[in-house]
Amino acid sequence: MGEPGREEYEIQSFDAETQRLLKTALKEPGAVDLEKVANVIVDQSLKDCMFSKEAGRICYTIIQVNNMPMMALVNPVYDCLFRLAQPDSLHKEEEVDCLVLQLHRIGEQLEKMNGQRMDELFGLLRDGFLLQGGLSSLSQLLLLELIEFRAAGWRTTPAAQKYYYSEVSD
What's the DSSP call for residue 8? Answer: P
The answer to whether the CB of 93 falls within 8 A of the CB of 136 is yes
Contact 96, 141 (CB under 8 A): no
74 in Cβ contact with 40 (< 8 Å): no
Q: Is the pLDDT of residue 61 over 50?
A: yes
Q: Residues 115-128: pLDDT tens digits?
A: 999 999 999 999 99
Tell me the pLDDT of the chain averaged across its residues. 85
Over the stretch 62-101, which tens digit does the pLDDT of each residue have? 877 755 656 777 888 898 899 999 999 999 999 999 999 9
**pLDDT for res 1:** 38
For residue 144, is pLDDT > 90? yes
Instruction: Mention every residue, 6+ apart, whose C-beta is less than 8 A from residue 124.
Output: 82, 85, 86
pLDDT at residue 27 greater than cutoff 70: yes
User: What are the structural domain ranges in the chain?
Assistant: 16-154
> 16-154 has which fold?
1.25.40
CA angle, 104 then 30 then 74, to 5°: 35
- pTM of the predicted model as reported, rounded to 2 decimal places: 0.65
* C-alpha span between 42 and 125 (Å, rounded): 20
